A and B are shown apart, each in its own frame.
Chain A
Amino acid sequence: MMWHVRHATTYRYAEPVDIATHLLHLAPRPLPHQRVLAESLTCQPEPARVATGTDHFGNRVAWLFLDRPHSVFEVVAEATVEVTARALPDPAATPPWETVAERASREPEAAEFALPSPMLPPEAEATAYAAASFRPGQPVLEGLLDLTARIPRDFAFRPGVTGIATPVAQVLAQRAGVCQDFTHLMLCALRGLGLPARYVSGYIRTLPPPGGASLMGADQSHAWVSAWLGLEHGWVDLDPTNALVVRDEHVTLGWGRDFHDISPLRGIILGGGRHSLRVEVDLAPG
């Protein structure tokens, strides 16, 4: 499946900003199942310096430095990517979840994602919530699929009731949130059981497939979970907002332990007073 992504962000400041630095995770990460065919990054005003690199997690990062006064800052990231559907292992053939958890603490690729992270401290209630999906000896993927399906049944998708740093405990209390909240909830729940899980940032297809339901969280940044099935099967991506296994309708930007590791765009400004933010995301089949 070919996708064209356009992600435009505009900041408007009440007073001119003298100096600004921005850190971007807006370039799709090349992966075995995701090829980046073309991409561009344009900014207005032109930054004095642009640096690019790779972060600790292997994601692509861009840094923009502006040192002239400006009242508006606009950045547009575009990319054409080809995503191929990944084969899902037979759930029943995956190892028991306890084995995966036991193994995780010793594996460099997984250990980091089984530990609590800055935005996701241990939360007993989340662990208890997940435990219902993981009976003793149950194959890990069976439990994961069950949990992925339960979250949207038990939690209402309701924008506006949570914010950027809403703790999982609050999401649990109000039984509502958006994709970031569901992702954080699931990460927190899995890590409580010792299962490694990553926060994935990206986009999801806008239009519903024929006869299917509309996919919520469309036309903007999306977030989902990547969970570890052990050395043999590696990672599988699960979307708890839409109760589905990620195949070829998601475009991946990158991943981290939680939102803070992979936030699409953040910055530090000097001056500026109050500011407003406008984001437009288009994901179209290419």
Chain B
Amino acid sequence: MIQPSPPDEMVDGRGQVRPHWRRVLAALSDLPPDSAEGGLGEAARRLDRAFEEEGATSLLPGLRRAEPSWRCDPVPLPLPAAEFATLAEGLAQRARLLDAVLADLYGEQRLLAGRLVPPELLFANPAFLRPCRSAAAPPPRPMLQTYAADLLRGPDGCWRVLADRTSRAAGIGHAQENRRMLGRVLPHLFQSQQVRPLRPFFDLWQDALQRLAPPRQENAAIALLTPGVQHPLWFEHVLLARELSCALVEPGDLAARGGAVFLKTLKGLQPVHVLLRRMDGRLLDPLEFGGHEPGVPGLLDAWRHGGVRVVNAPGCGLAEAPGLTALLPRLCEHLLGEPLRLPSVETHWLADPDALAAVLRNPDAWLLRPAADGIAPAWRPGRMTPAQRETLLARVAAQPRAFAATRDLPPSVAPFVEGGGLAPRPVLLRLFLAQDGAAWSAFPGGLARVPDEATGPIGRLPRQALSKDVWVLSEEGGRIQGPGAPRQAPLPIRRAGGDFPSRVADNLFWLGRYVERMEGAARLMRAALARLDRGPLLPREMAELAALFTGLRHAGLVMPEDMPNTAASSAFQAALWRTLREGGTVARLFDEIGRLVEAVRDRLTGDMHTLFTLPLRAVRVQADAPQLGLQGLEAVLGSVLRYSAGVAGAAAENMVRAGGFAFLDLGRRVERAQSIAAQLGFALGQSASRIEGGLRLALELCDSVITYRSRYLGTLQPAPALDLVLAEPGNPRGLAFQLHAIRDLLRSVDGGSECELLPPAEALIATVEAMPAAVLAAPDQAAAAVALAPRLAAMEGEIAVLSDAITRRYFALLPPIQQIGQEYPGGGAG
């Protein structure tokens, strides 16, 4: 059979460039091959790099380079204003229709009684969530607040809907990101174009979400509910939360109380009125849906009774069923009293014997799909091996009711950069809509992508794809106007930073701790390396090395058998390489830091995120490079220390003090205090006759050699040296400085002095202040200094206890949930 050739978005049937492409092509041809923006191929490479640096491509946390992922082609897909307006109208009608269908199927089910929807299509659909329906009460309206559709331009030149997306409308963040990146990397492209901006849509959407809040609720709190950092679309969730100015929360951050939903923050429970859900409805509430997923027990109760609005309502995925698609023209006439304006690609439920016969006559012209599941990838009989094809068709013939068939149309093609030129590739279009209670508005852009060769055009958004920015062109001279600012009550001024989720504070605290732990490890390793391969060691140097080695072992960085001797240090160096490489102690810290940076991403500016991730990736690459000896090792440690300093600097200069910074810094100070106490304990833990070496080491580990020398010149005595590293409150590498900072941070976080953690912090300060004074007053300073070693070791434990107390107080470690009950009939008999 000869397939008609698919239409070309850019060129018409006579080989002429379509009018709306002329300006785009002109701008593209203006990219001079040797300028800074140089050439199409270079433009594509620069876009790839920009995405990689932004981390949109490394959707999964961690530092390892993720597989090449979403890419954006430099050539946009322009849509003329009139064409887009027609699509937007058609999609708005579909959205209204699907909302009405959902409201009926989750309510009175007149469509079943009226025999307009076969009951099987509803009841056999796993996306029909029974806990979301009551036989006695209608569901909260609207069911559908956001809607997306995948469209394809068929051989006749008309756009048709390939799939309705009613559950979560994923991909709008990708579309927004494409526009942002294209604007940044190729600003030149946008000059003298009439492209409608995307931002006004987010204002409108945010306003619409605000209005969904329960009545009388001024300044409604909106939250975006994400399954968390492990979700493939995490990056989009971060981005959407930012665009919509709402909190990004995970199920564990929420609690249902008294028929309402709250966010667990440092300052207690704060109400949440509207939840933009980015997770499957079945995961929302373990009480209703069973299973062992986290969820929020009681969330559905709150939703049912209007205590919280959930967008889209749980259960909306039902309307994605291909079996329902076939019924839409008739349902539109019935429910809206008007014909369906924007048709679907021809789709049939195969319970219809005529449709089944037609499909079986020419199976290769169809995409076969589960009747109830619009997300599952389709089978393409034409691309299967004869055996697979036969098996599939036998299943279809045996159970036609379980299948739907959608005509396998070749999509239109659009030009993509290939090498230095352009080549046509098939393209699908995803468009997005949101409603504000009165009308549906279309996102004036979209996500165009090349369908995957293997899986075909149906299915959820892939992990990786080649995409395009979609340009909706405005009418010539037409003014572009966003909606007015939402009407909101004035906000009270707040200066405290307690309103963010406890989980975020917890993550920041541990991010601070791990960065500091990594830095401490690098310092110890560097101090040990400095004593190696410098010729024979003096007994004093051997003692220092032994103390350093104890510190390294204590930190889990080396094993006892790695202890170097004067003869050779190669085994020791190998041990340090091991700890820095895949699976090693420090490498695991790299991973943890990467994970935590990703988890607090919505609290960091784009620049900070880049600063927190890119150098760490570079360190990782450097550490995993083939062995480069002592100098290579020193170079890696140098990079680690520079990274740590960069993080500290960026945080101190960019983060508001009482907010996230307080917990990041608290983590850092607690970790540093613990490690100083431990390391000084090892440095001093030698015989009194060797105390000078111990003091020298103590000063070195606390980065205080230069300060000491400038204050006391060459004379090294226990009391002045210990004062500098223990009690001097102005020494940022000394113990007292950390303890003062901990006390002050606890005060600022708690907003008062009532905190029960302050007395133990004060007691620690008093202890370190008394130490050098006691040494100074002792008749034998060396002996008194050595006697401090066990005290310092004990202190490390006391700081750890304080850290645990901080965790308990602020981070609300909840016990895991368990399912109970399930008394079962007959189970107790006998």
Contact = CB atoms under 8 A, between A and B. Distances in A.
Interface of A: 9, 11, 18-19, 21-23, 48-49, 51, 53-58, 63, 65, 67, 105-108, 111-112, 115, 158-160, 163-164, 177-181, 183, 201, 216-223, 241, 259-261, 263-272, 275, 277, 279
A217 B118 contact: no
B820 A241 contact: no
A221 B823 CA distance: 8
Interface centre among B134, B298, B305, B821, by most chain A C-beta atoms within 10 angstroms, is B821
B135 A55 contact: yes
Given A18-B815, A65-B257, A268-B297, A221 B824 contact: yes
Interface stretch (B123-131, B374-382, B421-429, B656-664): B123-131
Contacts of B820: 11, 266-269, 272, 275, 277
Contact of A108 (B119, B298, B301, B824): B119
22 contacts: A11-B820, A19-B297, A21-B301, A51-B304, A51-B305, A53-B134, A58-B136, A65-B256, A106-B118, A111-B119, A158-B830, A159-B830, A164-B822, A177-B826, A178-B829, A180-B827, A221-B823, A221-B826, A265-B821, A268-B286, A268-B820, A275-B820
B740 interface: no
B301 A220 contact: no
A105 B286 contact: no
A266 B819 contact: yes
Given A220-B828, A263-B823, A272-B818, 19 more contacts: A9-B823, A19-B255, A22-B821, A23-B288, A54-B134, A55-B130, A58-B135, A65-B258, A115-B123, A115-B124, A159-B828, A178-B829, A217-B825, A220-B829, A259-B825, A266-B819, A267-B821, A268-B818, A272-B815
Contacts of B287: 21-23, 63, 266-268
Contact of A217 (B288, B814, B829): B829
B788 interface: no
B315 to A, nearest CB: 11
Interface string B287-325: 110100000011001001100000000000000000000
Nearest to A60: B136
Nearest to A183: B825
B136 A180 contact: no
A177 B830 CA distance: 12
A58 B133 CA distance: 10
Contacts of B283: none
Contact of B257 (A48, A63, A108): A48
Contacts of A21: 256, 287, 297-298, 301
Interface residues of B, number: 48
A164 B827 contact: yes
A270 B827 contact: no
Interface centre among A107, A265, A270, by most chain B C-beta atoms within 10 angstroms, is A270
Contact of A49 (B258, B825, B828): B258
B259 interface: yes
A279 B828 contact: yes
Judged by DSSP, the binding face of B is: loop
Nearest to B123: A112
Contacts, number: 168
A272 B821 CA distance: 13
B67 to A, nearest CB: 35
Nearest to B822: A164
B131 A49 contact: no
B817 to A, nearest CB: 5
B304 A53 contact: yes
A279 B829 CA distance: 11
B245 interface: no
Listed from nearest, the 3 A-B pairs whose CB atoms lie closest are A178-B826, A111-B119, A266-B821
B823 A163 contact: no
B817 A269 contact: yes
A180 to B, nearest CB: 5
B141 to A, nearest CB: 17
Interface centre among A48, A219, A241, A266, by most chain B C-beta atoms within 10 angstroms, is A266
A109 to B, nearest CB: 9
B830 A49 contact: no
A218 to B, nearest CB: 8
B692 to A, nearest CB: 55
B113 interface: yes
Interface centre among A107, A111, A217, by most chain B C-beta atoms within 10 angstroms, is A111
B137 interface: yes
Contact of A180 (B137, B298, B304, B824): B824
B120 A178 contact: no
Interface string B108-127: 01001101001110011000
A263 B822 contact: yes
A82 to B, nearest CB: 23
Nearest to A179: B826
A53 B137 contact: yes
Nearest to B828: A220
Contacts of A216: 829
Nearest to B119: A111
Interface centre among A23, A177, A180, by most chain B C-beta atoms within 10 angstroms, is A23
A125 B115 CA distance: 34
B372 to A, nearest CB: 11
A157 to B, nearest CB: 8
A112 B258 CA distance: 34
A262 B401 CA distance: 28
Interface string B412-441: 000000000000000000000000000000
A108 B297 contact: no
Nearest to B130: A56
A172 B94 CA distance: 49
Interface centre among A108, A178, A181, A266, by most chain B C-beta atoms within 10 angstroms, is A108
A163 B135 CA distance: 31
Contacts of B135: 54-58
A277 B823 contact: yes
Nearest to B260: A49
A218 B290 CA distance: 28
Contacts of B297: 19, 21, 268
B112 A263 contact: no
B819 A106 contact: no
B817 A63 contact: no
Contacts of A260: 290
Contact of A55 (B134, B256, B290): B134
B829 A266 contact: no
A111 B120 contact: yes
Given A54-B134, A55-B131, A261-B130, A217 B298 contact: no
B261 to A, nearest CB: 12
A106 B463 CA distance: 40
B268 to A, nearest CB: 13
A47 B823 CA distance: 20
Contacts of A181: 826
Contacts of B819: 266-268
A267 B290 CA distance: 9
Contacts of B822: 164, 263, 265-266
B824 A48 contact: no
Contact of A48 (B134, B258, B815, B830): B258
Contacts of A272: 815, 818, 820
A49 B259 contact: yes
Contacts of B256: 21, 65
